[in-house]
Amino acid sequence: MDRVAMKIGIAGIGAVGSAVAQALDRGDIPGCKLTAISARSAERAAEFNVFLSNRAPNVPLQDMAEECDMVLEALPPSMFDAVAVPTLKAGKILVAMSGSQLLGRDDLIELSRRSGGRIVIPSGAMLGLDAIKAAAVGMIHEVKIVTRKPPSSLVGAPYIVRSGLKLDKLDEALCILKGTVREIAKEFPANVNVAAAVSLAGVGPERTKMEIWADPSLQLNTHTVSVRSDSSDFSMSIQNRPSHENPATGRITSQSVIAYLRQLHAGLRIGT
Ligand X SMILES: NC(=O)C1=CN([C@@H]2O[C@H](COP(=O)(O)OP(=O)(O)OC[C@H]3O[C@@H](n4cnc5c(N)ncnc54)[C@H](O)[C@@H]3O)[C@@H](O)[C@H]2O)C=CC1
Which residues belong to the active site?
A: 223
Provide the pairing of β-strand 140-149 with 221-229.
antiparallel
Residue 74 φ/ψ, nearest 5 degrees: -135, 55
Q: Which helix (H) or strand (E) holds 22?
A: helix 15-25
Residue closer to ligand OAA, measured from CB, 205 or 250 = 250
- Determine the Cα–Cα distance for residues 272 and 261; give it in Å rounded to an integer: 15
> How many of the chain's residues bind ligand X (CB under 6 A)?
28
CB atoms within 10 A of CB 67: 15
58 contacts ligand X (rule: CB under 6 A): no
- Determine the Cα–Cα distance for residues 191 and 154; give it in Å rounded to an integer: 8
40 contacts ligand X (rule: CB under 6 A): yes
Say whether 90 counts as a known binding-site residue: no
Q: Mark the segment that binds ligand OAA (CB under 6 A) among 86-94, 135-143, 188-196, 263-271.
A: 188-196
190 contacts ligand X (rule: CB under 6 A): yes
Pick one of 22, 49, 240, 255: the residue that binds ligand OAA (CB under 6 A): 240
Maximum CA extent, the chain:
61
β-strand partners of 234:
227
Site for ligand X in 75-94 (CB under 6 A): 75-77, 79
CB 48, CB 39: distance < 8 Å: yes
Q: Which does 108 bind (CB under 5 to 8 A by kind): ligand X, ligand OAA, none?
A: none
Residue closer to ligand X, measured from CB, 31 or 81 = 81
Residue 172 φ/ψ, nearest 5 degrees: -145, 165
Q: Is 172 exposed, middle or buried (0-12, 13-18, 19+ CB in 10 A)?
A: exposed
Site for ligand OAA in 116-135 (CB under 6 A): 125
Q: Which does 198 bind (CB under 5 to 8 A by kind): ligand OAA, ligand X, none?
A: none
Residue closer to ligand X, measured from CB, 74 or 135 = 74
- Which amino acid, residue 89? K
Pick one of 18, 249, 254, 256: the residue that binds ligand OAA (CB under 6 A): 249
193 contacts ligand OAA (rule: CB under 6 A): yes
Q: Mark the segment that binds ligand OAA (CB under 6 A) among 84-92, 187-195, 204-212, 254-262.
A: 187-195
Say whether 54 counts as a known binding-site residue: no
DSSP class of 231: S
38 contacts ligand OAA (rule: CB under 6 A): no
CB-side exposure of 245: number of CA atoms within 13 Å? 13
CB atoms within 10 A of CB 176: 23
Q: Mark the segment that binds ligand OAA (CB under 6 A) among 18-26, 44-52, 114-122, 245-253.
A: 245-253
CB 70, CB 95: distance < 8 Å: yes
Residues that bind ligand X (CB under 6 A): 12-17, 38-40, 61, 74-77, 79, 97-99, 124-126, 190, 193-194, 245-246, 249, 253
Residues that bind ligand OAA (CB under 6 A): 125, 147, 191-194, 221, 240, 249-250, 253
